[in-house]
């Protein structure tokens, strides 16, 4: 048992080491391998400077704080013939049932447990700054891996990264694996990518941060105002205007006055970064790169800037794509020059 100070090496907790109940805050300077037995934080703080590989046993937060600077993988690690690390399912469980439970993962979080977690993820906060992945890789009829992230009660997941984060579920449904409360404080332009369908059962508090969803996702209506949380700019509170006065707003990433029809918010007032108009190729003449309803030498210069890579801040109008190759370049510039010669 470690009673005080930092552990400067990899640490393995298994049947030989026995259970570990923290009596004070602890730091593991490298990787922590939880292979079996029970790790009980007992209201203390455990900091893992490397990865936490949780292949077996139980990690019980018990009102404490777990900080993982690397990845937290509820998986079993092994090495293949080429020396690369591979992962398969775990027999471990994560127990978060106390309102003071706090798990912070600076890297990626992967849940691939054999066991269901419907009664184990009921409270506390799991904060992830990397990708969030739920897997179901056990090939056994007795396994409950399809419900290994079935959060309930007041359990909350917070996505707080400073770069693009990807979220994926293997078995997402209301009766299988799902988020209970999901909050996004990642305010980067890349935001959150839900690469598969996700299910959120209680609250999706996005704070108007950017996210991209799959069509198979399911969202709640937390404030019961008949606007699902992903379309609600303030999912915690009902809107204050008449229903007929609600504006349909579209995410306008480039602030050109035309939004993306796949990103909708319903609001009583205008929202920064949203537009009331959606993009339509019929609105612009071919060659009108800056969307000012004119085709002139300015558009030719913009085409050349986009081609050279110096125009990252220029709106790349898809309607101006002359040869339908999915980009603006030399063909568009030549077309615009010739068009102005003939006027």
DSSP string, 270-318: --TTEESEE--GGGS-TT-TTSSS--SHHHHHHHHHHHHT--TTS---G
Is residue 195 predicted with pLDDT exceeding 70?
yes
The fraction of the chain above a pLDDT of 70, given in percent, is 83
CB 303 within 8 A of CB 288: no
Scored b (16 or more CB within 10 A) or e, 120-159 reads bbbbbbbbbbbbbbbbbebeeeebbbbbbbbbbbebbbbb
Which residues lie below 8 Å from residue 336, measured CB to CB, with a gap of 6+? 287, 295, 296, 297, 299, 300, 303
Scored b (16 or more CB within 10 A) or e, 257-280 reads ebbbeebbbbbeeeeeebbeebbe
The per-residue pLDDT for 143 is 93
CB 61 within 8 A of CB 25: no
3-state SS, residue 141: coil
Q: What is the mean pLDDT of residues 130-159?
A: 96
Question: What are all long-range contacts of 76-82, with beta carbons under 8 Å and residues at least 24 apart?
Answer: 77/53
In eight-state DSSP terms, residue 229 is G
The per-residue pLDDT for 285 is 62
In angstroms, the CA 82 to CA 284 distance is 55
Give the residue with greater pLDDT, 239 vs 335: 239
Query: What's the pLDDT band for 282 if we cut at 50, 70, 90?
Result: low
pLDDT digits (tens, 9 = 90+) for 242-273: 988 999 999 998 888 889 888 999 999 999 99
In angstroms, the CA 289 to CA 312 distance is 13
Predicted TM-score (pTM) of the model is: 0.82
Q: Measuring CA to CA, which residue among 55, 199, 61 is closest to residue 121?
A: 61
Q: Measuring CA to CA, which residue among 173, 222, 220, 164 is closest to residue 194?
A: 164
Give the residue with greater pLDDT, 92 vs 279: 92
In angstroms, the CA 103 to CA 101 distance is 7
Average pLDDT, the chain: 89
Q: What is the mean pLDDT of residues 47-52?
A: 98
Domains annotated for the chain, with CATH where assigned, are 6-232 (no CATH), 239-279 (no CATH), 283-341 (1.10.1330.10)
The per-residue pLDDT for 313 is 47
The per-residue pLDDT for 312 is 43
Place of tokens 């010669």: 341
The per-residue pLDDT for 307 is 66
User: Which residues are 259's β-sheet partners?
Assistant: 278
Structure tokens at 268: 């009583």
CB 132 within 8 A of CB 165: yes
pLDDT digits (tens, 9 = 90+) for 75-133: 999 999 999 999 999 999 999 999 999 999 999 999 999 999 999 999 999 999 999 99
Query: What's the pLDDT band for 153 if we cut at 50, 70, 90?
Result: very high
Structure tokens at 194: 């839900």
Is residue 3 predicted with pLDDT exceeding 60?
no
3-state SS, residue 178: strand
CA dihedral 203, 258, 195, 152 (to 10 degrees): 0
pLDDT digits (tens, 9 = 90+) for 283-337: 556 666 666 667 777 777 777 776 666 554 445 455 556 555 656 666 666 766 7
Place of tokens 């690369």: 84
């Amino acid at each position: 048992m470690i009673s005080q100070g930092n552990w400067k090496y990899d640490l393995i907790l298994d049947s030989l080491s026995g259970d570990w109940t923290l009596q004070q805050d602890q730091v593991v300077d490298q990787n922590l391998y939880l292979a079996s037995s029970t790790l009980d934080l007992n209201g203390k703080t455990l900091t893992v400077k490397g990865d936490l590989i949780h292949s077996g046993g139980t990690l019980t937060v018990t009102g404490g704080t777990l900080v993982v600077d690397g990845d937290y993988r509820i998986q079993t690690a092994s090495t293949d013939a080429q020396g690369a690390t591979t992962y398969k399912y775990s027999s471990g469980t994560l127990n978060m049932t106390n309102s003071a439970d706090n798990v912070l993962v600076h890297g990626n979080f992967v849940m691939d447990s054999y066991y269901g977690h419907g009664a184990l993820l009921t409270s506390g906060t799991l904060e992830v700054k990397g990708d969030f992945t739920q897997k179901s890789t056990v090939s056994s009829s007795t396994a409950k891996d399809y419900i290994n992230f079935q959060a309930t009660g007041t359990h909350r997941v917070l996505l707080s990264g400073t770069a693009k984060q990807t979220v994926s579920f293997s078995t997402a449904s209301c009766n299988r694996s799902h988020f209970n409360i999901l909050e996004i404080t990642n305010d980067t332009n890349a935001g959150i990518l839900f690469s598969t369908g996700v299910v959120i059962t209680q609250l999706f508090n996005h704070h108007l941060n950017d996210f991209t969803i799959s069509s198979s996702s399911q969202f709640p209506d937390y404030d019961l105002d008949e606007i699902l949380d992903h379309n609600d700019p303030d999912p915690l509170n009902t809107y204050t205007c008449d229903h007929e006065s609600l504006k349909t707003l579209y995410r306008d990433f480039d602030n050109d006055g035309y939004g993306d029809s796949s990103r909708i918010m319903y609001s009583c007032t205008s929202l920064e970064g949203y537009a009331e108009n959606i993009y339509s190729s019929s609105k612009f003449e071919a060659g009108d790169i800056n969307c000012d309803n004119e085709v002139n030498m300015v558009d030719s210069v913009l085409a050349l800037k986009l081609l050279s890579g110096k125009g990252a801040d220029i709106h790349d109008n898809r309607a101006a794509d002359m040869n339908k190759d999915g980009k603006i370049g030399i063909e568009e510039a030549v077309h615009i020059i010739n068009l102005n010669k003939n006027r």
